[in-house]
Structure 1
Amino acid sequence: MASEQMPPVVTLHEEYGCGAREIGERVAASLGVEYVGRAMKSETIDEIAGDADEGGFVERFLRSFTPIPSHDANIAWALEAHADHEVADQNNRYLADLAQDGAVIHGRAGAHVLADRPATLHVKLIAPLSTRITRAATEAGITPERARHRQAREDRVRTDFCRRLYRWDPRENDRFDLVVNTASFTPEQAADLIVTTYRLHFPV
């Protein structure tokens, strides 16, 4: 099937507080596909992380799905490697299923997993830190101090998640077709920019 005949897919990766959900929902509505939010919501990260430092969060998150029962170091290492593969494989299959009907996919390492799919635009959303903190606090109804704490944790653990499961660092831009500074655009403008870029890149 030619790429222009395939249902549209847009993957979104954002730095914390860039407004990806609102932008993604607008893009999905314009392209006539489903918007799929990220797997790890901020509240989920807060609940699982507790008082753990950022470095231990990914381990706790993955083990919440695939607990490692053994105290033997060699066996535990093998089980962890297998569990990581299972989580990645489950995510891969989920994204492949979504892509069949088209979707705007927020997070989930979509730019890496669907890197070779035709008719797919990979977008990264960035913004200055102060803008991200203010936007996140307003959207979530939390204090700037809590938003700042979430930002430090989430930007770290989401990167660690991708690096651990896929050996891919989303801080690098090589897998993204478009990088948008959302401080320079309203959500409507950012969505229009993404949709216009998609249609220019994959004309029907």
Structure 2
Amino acid sequence: MRVVTISATYGTAGSVIGPAVADRLGVPFVDRAIPGAVAGELGCTLEEALAHDDRSEHGLGWLLSGAVRLPTATFGGVDVYLPGSMPPPPEDFVSHTEAVIRKIAAEQGGVILGRAGALVLAAHPGALHVRLDAPQRRRILQTAALAGVSEREARRLVEDNDRARTAYVRHFYRADPASPELYHLVLDSTTIPVSACVELIVTASTALD
């Protein structure tokens, strides 16, 4: 079963490249299904799971990075978003997210976007770990063009998302998500066309047989 993890900085078209790679490889694209599965396992609401998801607009990474402020309480030294009642501690959400990712990789394969997939599945046989990144300036311009927003707003989106996603990985895994040592393939998808990035990832994944 094919397994690909994609770590994508904001403005590198990860949400476009991921599904396209999954379609080519004939495996699921795994993104929004993860917090739903975590919520089911923990017996909490989807809102609570999203509040602790690194891909969510107001996920735990945003709180750790200080990018946004939501109603919080301190739990174990960490400010935790409270959507109405005390949820399980952040570590529970992270460990269940890891369990969901490992189960998907073992049982059906898939293209997994974000959530420190390269670290969670570092020892998974045959998994390909990909990083999509580019200089911030090019990511800002690409975000402005694709999202139809001003360059100023695009800069805010890129900077806030970068801080949040980096904070999540640093806090829970004590790692730098930009480190090339974590990945087999690092691509600048602001310069290399999306279709070519998809082709390169698919080729690399199939070469691991």
Bin for the TM-score computed over the shorter chain: 0.7 to 0.9
Q: Residue 91 of structure 1: which of 89, 93, 97 is its match?
A: 97
Q: Report how many aligned residue pairs link the two structures.
A: 180
Partner amino acid for 1:101? Q
- What is the distance in 2 between the residues matched to 1:37 and 1:142? 24
- What is the distance in 2 between the residues matched to 1:154 and 1:79? 19
- Cross-structure match for 1:102: 109
Residue 138 of structure 1, CA deviation = 2.8
> Which of the two has greater helix per residue?
1
Please give the secondary structure, in 1, of the residue aligned with 2:181: coil
1:136-173 CA-partner distances (Å, limit 9, x unpaired): 22333322211101111111111111111122221212
Q: Residue 171 of structure 1: which of 158, 170, 178 is its match?
A: 178
Q: Is the 8 A contact 2:133 2:187 kept in 1?
A: yes
Q: Residue 29 of structure 2: which of 19, 24, 35 is its match?
A: 35
Q: Is the 8 A contact 2:8 2:132 kept in 1?
A: yes
Please give the secondary structure, in 2, of the residue aligned with 1:90: helix
Give the 3 Å change call, closer, same or farther, for CA 185–27 of structure 1 in structure 2. same
| TM-score of the pair, normalised by structure 1 | 0.77
Alignment root-mean-square deviation, CA: 2.9
Partner amino acid for 1:93? A
- What is the distance in 2 between the residues matched to 1:128 and 1:79? 31
| TM-score of the pair, normalised by structure 2 | 0.75
Partner amino acid for 1:31? L
Matches within 5 A, 1:153-172: 153-172=160-179
Q: Residue 26 of structure 1: which of 20, 25, 28 is its match?
A: 20
- What is the distance in 1 between the residues matched to 2:169 and 2:93? 11
Residue 57 of structure 1, CA deviation = 4.5
Q: Which has the larger radius of gyration?
A: 1
Matches within 5 A, 1:9-158: 9-37=3-31, 39-41=53-55, 44-45=57-58, 55-57=65-67, 68=74, 76-77=75-76, 83-99=89-105, 100-158=107-165
Partner amino acid for 1:56? G
Structure 1 unaligned residues grouped into runs of 5+: 1-6, 69-75
Please give the secondary structure, in 2, of the residue aligned with 1:11: strand
